[in-house]
């Protein structure tokens, strides 16, 4: 179930997942997390969004342990706050949600993010229509060929090239360009962190 594909980008919510048994092995990042059905679906949708990019592989086994492998593990880590402290138990994640009601867990205190307002009777057609994003990350990955590799420099240069080729001055949308630029900037920051 891909929630992110259905949500509009204006619906990006931030909430914390309580992670357990988080560890990094040669096979990738493994973790379990607690949360209700809505939280589970939200994370699942988020991860499936990225797995379509072939940047990383994520799978969940019967015991509920998630495994993330590939370069995408590094790619999604900016969305996990403070990835240097992967052993911390609470990690904030950005998830797009529209159809679920996620929880916000901060220091074991649970907040329910209010549901979207129900459609009024005046505009039922508009409420029924699926939201069309002007640009989605999947689209970004279909525009350019990101090499499947663990070489950070190759990935970084691919993003840099993509941001050059998709500049608003050249007739592309600002959102496209910002997406690639943000990915490139993040790759730079990631490389800088690794050097230290």
Residue 167 engages another protein in binding (rule: CB under 8 A):
yes
Residues 6+ apart with CB under 8 A from 47: 58, 66, 68, 76
Bridge partners (DSSP) of residue 24 are 29
Q: Which among 76, 150, 1 is positioned nearest to 68, based on CA atoms?
A: 76
- Of 14-22, 30-38, 63-71, 153-161, the window that binds another protein (rule: CB under 8 A) is 153-161
Q: Distance between CA 145 and CA 45 in Å, rounded?
A: 23
Contact 35, 113 (CB under 8 A): no
- Provide the minimum distance between the beta carbon of 189 and another protein in the complex, in angstroms, as a whole number: 15
For residue 160, give the H/E element and its range. helix 152-165
Residue 154 engages another protein in binding (rule: CB under 8 A):
yes
- Provide the minimum distance between the beta carbon of 176 and another protein in the complex, in angstroms, as a whole number: 14
Residues 6+ apart with CB under 8 A from 58: 47, 50, 51, 66, 67, 68, 69, 72
Sole binder of another protein in the list 150, 161, 174, 193 (CB under 8 A):
161
Instruction: Give 3-state DSSP helix, strand, coil % of the chain, rounded to 5.
Output: 45, 25, 35
- Provide the minimum distance between the beta carbon of 158 and another protein in the complex, in angstroms, as a whole number: 8
Sole binder of another protein in the list 5, 104, 113, 165 (CB under 8 A):
165
Sole binder of another protein in the list 12, 24, 164, 191 (CB under 8 A):
164
Sole binder of another protein in the list 48, 51, 138, 157 (CB under 8 A):
157
Residue 185 engages another protein in binding (rule: CB under 8 A):
no
Residue 22 engages another protein in binding (rule: CB under 8 A):
no
Q: Distance between CA 8 and CA 31 in Å, rounded?
A: 28
- Provide the minimum distance between the beta carbon of 139 and another protein in the complex, in angstroms, as a whole number: 17
- Number of shown-chain residues binding another protein (CB under 8 A): 11
Residues that bind another protein (CB under 8 A): 144, 153-154, 157, 160-161, 164-165, 167, 169-170
């Amino acid at each position: 179930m891909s929630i992110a594909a259905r949500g509009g980008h204006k619906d990006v919510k931030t909430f914390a997942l309580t992670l357990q048994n988080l560890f990094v092995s040669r096979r990738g990042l493994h973790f379990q997390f607690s949360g209700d059905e809505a939280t589970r679906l939200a994370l699942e949708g988020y991860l499936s969004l990225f797995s379509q990019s072939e940047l990383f592989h994520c799978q969940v086994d019967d015991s509920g342990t998630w495994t993330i492998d590939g370069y995408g593990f590094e790619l999604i880590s900016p969305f996990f706050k403070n990835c240097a402290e992967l052993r911390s138990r609470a990690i904030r994640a950005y998830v797009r949600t529209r159809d679920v009601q996620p929880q916000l867990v901060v220091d074991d205190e649970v907040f329910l993010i209010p549901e979207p307002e129900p459609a009024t009777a005046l505009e039922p057609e508009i409420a029924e229509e699926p939201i069309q994003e002007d640009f989605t990350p999947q689209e970004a990955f279909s525009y350019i060929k990101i090499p499947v590799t663990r070489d950070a420099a190759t990935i970084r240069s691919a993003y840099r090239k993509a941001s050059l080729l998709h500049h608003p001055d050249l007739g592309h949308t600002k959102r496209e360009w910002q997406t690639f630029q943000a990915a490139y900037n993040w790759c730079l920051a990631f490389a800088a962190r690794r050097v230290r």
